Amino acid sequence: MKKIVSILALIACAIQINAQSVTLECETSSSPISSGGSRDAADRRNYDIANCWGFGGVTYTNISPLSGSFSTQSGSATNLNPTSFWIKSPWFKPGSGNITLKTKLSSSSGSSRYLRLAYIPYDANASYKEGTRVDFYTHTFTINTSVVNISEAIPSAIANSGQPYKIIALMFGSGGSSRIMTDSWNIPGTYWADPSNSCYPLALIADADSDGVADDDDAYPNDATKAYNNFFPAAGYGTLMFEDLWPATGDYDFNDLVLDYRYNLITNADNKVVEMDGSVVTRAIGASFRNGFAFQMNGIAPNKIVSTTGPKYHGASWLNNAANGTENGQTYANIIVFDDAQKVLPSPGGSGTNVIPANGRVAPDTTNLVITFVTTSGQELQLSDFDLNPYIIVNQIRGKEVHLPNGVPSTLNNPEWFGTFQDDSKPNEGKYYKTKNNLPWALSIDSSIPYTHTTSDLIDAYLRFADWAQSNGTLYTDWYVNNPGYRDTNKLFIP
Amino acid sequence: MRNRKIIGALVILVMAFSSCLKLPNPTEEKPTTPVKFGEIKTDPNFNWTTTRIVDIEVLGLSTRTPIYNTFKLSTKDKASVFYQGKHAMSENIALKITIPAVLDSVLMEFGSIQKTYSVANSKVTIDYIINYPEEE
C-alpha cells in the first residue's frame, strides 16, 4: 500500500526548537562578498525574498535605518490606495502574542501616512494560494520622523489556529514625498513556507518508500535503498575505440576494438553510490588479436565491491577473480568485462567483424553489468569517488594493457613494455600510452559515433578531427557530430 | 667624392628594395594540416577527450527551517542530467561534473528554483538567489 509520508515531522521538530517567530531584520546579505552601497541593499532584499518575504514597491536602504544597517522603505506614499506599497510575510502558523515592528517616516513631508496590518488565509484555489485579505489594525502617522514601535496582538481568529497565514503591511497616504520605513519585524508563530517550492506552504510530499525523496524525483519510489540515476554519458551511449598494436603504432583506423558504453551510478537518499549498472556494446573488431576488455575504478579498493554480475568469460587462462567479481592482485577494483572479444562478437567470415561491409554484419553484442557496493556506514562511496579507466588486454597477454591516453595501468600491467617501440610512456611524469608526439592508442567519445572501415585513417573519415587535435581541443569541439562537411561517410562503417 | 655618391645610391637602393621584401610574419603561420593521423602534433597536455570537468560550488541559503529537495544540474532542455542528489538548501556543496566539451551552459534546479549558468569557465558558483528588480 502506497504510503503518504511526511517530512513535516522532522521539520516541525526543528521548528519547535528553532523558530517560534517569523522575523525580518533586513541585515543578511545574499552575496558572500558585500559590495557596499545600493547593491548591498539589494543583496539583503534578495536574501529575504529567497526566504519568502514579499515586497511591493518596497526597497532596502541604509540611510537612517531604524535598527542595524538597513531598513525597508516604501516609495513616496502619496496614494491612498492601500495596496500601493506592501510587505508580505512568508506563510506561517500563528502562535499567540503581539506582532511587533519599528516604523517611521523618512521625512516630515506629507499630508497623511498610514500603515495597515492584515492577514491573508490560505486558499488552495486562489492565485498564489492567497485568500481574501482581512484588515485588523491601522496606524496613523504623525507627520514627523519619530520612530514608532508598533505592537499589535495576533487576531484571535487566527491565533493558534494551526492553519497557514501571511501577514501583510500596507503603506499609503497623501501629499508630500515622505516614505514609510519599517524594521525589526517579529511575528509569533511557526515559519511554514518552502523556499524550494515557490514559497507555498510546507506540504505533505508523496514518498512511498519513506526515504525523504519525493516520488516525483525518486527513480525508485518503492525502494528505500535507491533514489537517483546518474548516467554517463548523460544521454545515449559513448564510444571507445582502440588500436591494439601497442607499444607500436598501427594504422590509426581505431577499429581494432570498438565498443559503445553507458553506465549508471545509482545513489540513495544520502547521495551514496549503492550500485553501478553498466552496458557495454561490442560493435566491431578490426584485428586478429583476441583482446579482452576491462576497466579499473581508480582509487576504489576492491573490497568496496560486494558483488558483480554480467561479465562474459570464455575460459581465459589468466582470469583470476575474487568472489566479489573483482580481479585478484589489484590495488584498485578492476572488472574484466569480457576476456575475448572474438568470442563475444565472432567473425562472420573473412577478416575482422563489422569492419568490411562486403563481409556482412554481425549484430552488436551487449554485456550488461550490475555491480553493488558496500553500504556500511562510513564505508560508502560517493559520486566523486568514481573515475573509471577502461582498457583492453592485448591478445590474451594479461600484462599488456592499452588504456586511454594517460590512463593509469593496473597493478597487473607489465611496465617493461613502456618506452619500447613508439610508446613514450613516462610513469614518473604521469604520461601513459602516448607516443613522443603525444598520439594515443585509444579514444573515448561521449556520443555513439560510426567507426572507420578497416585501414581507413581516422582523419580521412572525420574531417575536422585533425583541426580539433592540433588546436588542443579549442577548435571543432564538435568534430564527431554529423554536421555538413565533418565526415567522409565513404570511410565509415555505417550499417 | 664619387665613391661617396655611389655608396649613397647603393644604400638608398638597398633600403628601397628591402622594404619590398616580405618578411615572415609569425602570426600568419598556421600548422600544416596533417594528411595522416600519425602526423598530428598536439600539446603534451592535450587530453584527447570530448568532455571536460567543471567544478561546481553551491552556496547554501540559510533557511528558518531545514528545507530538503533534489538539486539537479542538466542541459537547458533537461534532456541530459549531469548530477542529481538530495540536499539541504542551507548546505554548501562542492561537485565536479563531466559535461560535453561543446556545452556552454547548465540548468540548476532546486525544487521550483531554476537558474541557468554559463560553463565557459572550469569553475561555476551557484546560489539560490533570484535578483529581483527594485521597482517602486
Convert the pLDDT of each residue in A82-108 to its tens digit. Answer: 999 999 999 999 999 999 999 999 999
Give the pLDDT score at A29.
79
Tell which wins on pLDDT, A14 or A183. Answer: A183
CB contact burial A24-46 (16+ within 10 A = b; e otherwise): bbbbebbbeeeeeeeebbbbbbb
Which of A30, A45, A51 is the closest to B63 by Cβ?
A: A51
Alpha-carbon gap: A438 to the closest alpha carbon of chain B (Å): 6
Q: What is the CATH number for A117? A: 2.60.120.200
Q: Are residues B68 and B112 in the same domain?
A: yes
Query: DSSP letters along A288-355, please?
Result: SS--EEEEEETT--GGGEEEEE--B----TT--B-TTSPBTT-SS-EEEEES-HHHHS--SSSSSBSS
Our count of domains for chain A comes to 2
Report the SS3 class of residue A450.
Answer: coil
For residue A203, give the nearest of A194, A195, A212, A211 by alpha carbon.
A194
Which of B44, B81, B95 is the closest to A234 by Cβ?
A: B81
Give the pLDDT score at A306.
98
Contact A195 B84 (CB under 8 A): no
Q: Are residues B96 and B121 in the same domain?
A: yes
* pLDDT tens digits, one per residue of A39-69: 689 989 999 999 999 999 999 999 999 999 9
Task: Note whether residue B44 is domain-resident.
Answer: no
Is-above-0.95 flag for pTM? Answer: no
Q: Are residues B11 and B62 in the same domain?
A: no
What is the count of residue pairs from A and B with beta carbons less than 8 Å apart? 181
Give the pLDDT score at B136.
52
* pLDDT tens digits, one per residue of A451-473: 999 889 999 999 999 999 999 99
How would residue A203 be classed by pLDDT, with cut points 50, 70 and 90?
confident
Closest chain B residue by Cα to residue A199: B112
Q: Which domain holds residue A72?
A: 8-191
Task: Note whether residue B134 is domain-resident.
Answer: no
Q: Which domain holds residue B8?
A: 2-39
Task: Note whether residue B80 is domain-resident.
Answer: yes
Give the pLDDT score at A22.
96
Closest chain A residue by Cα to residue B34: A466
β-strands A179-191, A21-24 pairing: antiparallel
Q: Does B129 touch chain A (CB under 8 A)?
A: yes
Residue B55's DSSP bridge partners are: B96, B123
Compute φ and ψ for B50, nearest 5 degrees: -95, 10
Task: Note whether residue A467 is domain-resident.
Answer: no
Q: Which of residues 70-109 of B touch A (CB under 8 A)?
A: 70, 74-75, 79-87, 89, 95-96, 98-102
Q: Are residues B55 and B111 in the same domain?
A: yes
Q: Which of residues 138-157 of A touch B (CB under 8 A)?
A: none
Question: What's the average model confidence in pLDDT over A261-267?
Answer: 98
How would residue A351 be classed by pLDDT, with cut points 50, 70 and 90?
confident
Our count of domains for chain B comes to 2
Question: What's the average model confidence in pLDDT over A403-412?
Answer: 98
Question: What's the average model confidence in pLDDT over A165-193?
Answer: 97
Q: Are residues A178 and A240 in the same domain?
A: no
Quick check: A29 and A236 in contact, CB under 8 A? Answer: no
Give the pLDDT score at B31.
57
How would residue A2 be classed by pLDDT, with cut points 50, 70 and 90?
very low
* CB-CB neighbors (< 8 A) of B80 in chain A: 233-235
Whole-Å CA distances, A480 to A283, A444, B33, B106: 17, 11, 18, 21
How would residue A18 be classed by pLDDT, with cut points 50, 70 and 90?
very low
Q: Are residues B63 and B13 in the same domain?
A: no
* pLDDT tens digits, one per residue of B89-105: 999 999 999 999 999 99
Q: Does B33 touch chain A (CB under 8 A)?
A: yes
Q: Are residues B33 and B57 in the same domain?
A: no
Which of B33, B37, B128 is the closest to A457 by Cβ?
A: B37
Amino acid letter for position A486:
Y
Give the pLDDT score at B131.
78
Round the average pLDDT of chain B to a whole number and report it.
82
Task: Note whether residue B68 is domain-resident.
Answer: yes
Give the pLDDT score at A3.
43
